[in-house]
Structure 1
């Protein structure tokens, strides 16, 4: 299996059946098809405008986008068109999510953690936190703060432990959707070696 396939597989396995995914696309079979296609576009876009970090033998995948020049976009226009073809009438939910998050996205230069996926076989083992700490150390060394939207109270608690703080108010997605928690982490001061 190629590296891209491993990344997409991990993203789908980690996210395709969570509360947010069920809100976006309720039908499981359609959801898995949409997610495979969506992540297949997100990964190369992030490689061009950010970074995809794979760790733990492909069982953890971080998708970072550069927010150095303003709020980043996870897909370009062609990607949006292709996603609309895949999602069909469910595309309206993707648009609602995108509009809500764009309206709340900070303008200050930062690194944007669009997604961190941990394969279900190693969730709750500390793998995700360890992988994320390594990425945050890199951004600290560059003096870059980080931003994300936590998709659950549980993930919010992990991010709080890693130095993120809530900014603004939680975003409640329409149509009885889940709550997203916008969070910011200032770059930690890194001591120069002596």
Structure 2
């Protein structure tokens, strides 16, 4: 299995059934199909214009984008359109999320953690914290703050332990879960 396949598999397993994924795409089969394509495109975009960080085992995958003048995009225009086409009648959810996320996104230069996925087989074992801590040490050394949107209260608590702070009120998705914007100053 190629490195990209392992990373896509990890992301698919990590996001298979979380509340945000169900809000975007309630049908599990449709979600799996769209997410597979989406993650392949995101990994390619981040590989060219950001950073994809994954341990040798591929059980944790981080997608970081450099945000120097506002919110960065996970996809180029062509891939964004492809994602909306794949989403079909759920494309409006992707647009809603994108608009709400961009509205809240900090304008100060930072590194944006667009995605982090940990294989469910090792969630809660410290793998995600260890992998993420390594990236945060790098941003600290560069004097660069970080930003993310936690997709659950559980992940928010993890990020609080790693030095992130709430960045305003939660973002409430229409008819869906809340996301927690979080900022971490460089130490």
Stretches of structure 1 lacking an aligned partner (at least 5 in a row): 189-194
Between the aligned partners of 1:84 and 1:163, the Cα distance in structure 2 is 35
Q: Deviations over 1:117-163 (max 9, x none)?
A: 00010001010001000000000000000000000000000000000
2:122 aligns with 122
Instruction: Give me the TM-score of the superposition, normalised by structure 1.
Output: 0.95
2:179 aligns with 180
Q: Would you say 1:71 and 2:43 are equivalent positions?
A: no
Q: Which has the larger radius of gyration?
A: 1
> Counterparts of 1:24-43 in structure 2 under 5 Å?
24-43=24-43
How far apart are 1:14 and its partner, in Å?
0.2
State the SS of the aligned residue for 2:11. helix
Work out the number of aligned pairs and report it: 187
Instruction: Give me the TM-score of the superposition, normalised by structure 2.
Output: 0.98
Contact 1:56 1:127 in 2 (8 A): no
Stretches of structure 2 lacking an aligned partner (at least 5 in a row): none
State the SS of the aligned residue for 1:53. strand
State the SS of the aligned residue for 1:158. helix
How far apart are 1:56 and its partner, in Å?
5.4
Q: Deviations over 1:38-82 (max 9, x none)?
A: 101000111112100001510000000001232101111101111
> Counterparts of 1:9-158 in structure 2 under 5 Å?
9-55=9-55, 57-158=57-158
Q: Deviations over 1:71-111 (max 9, x none)?
A: 10111110111111211011110110000000000000000
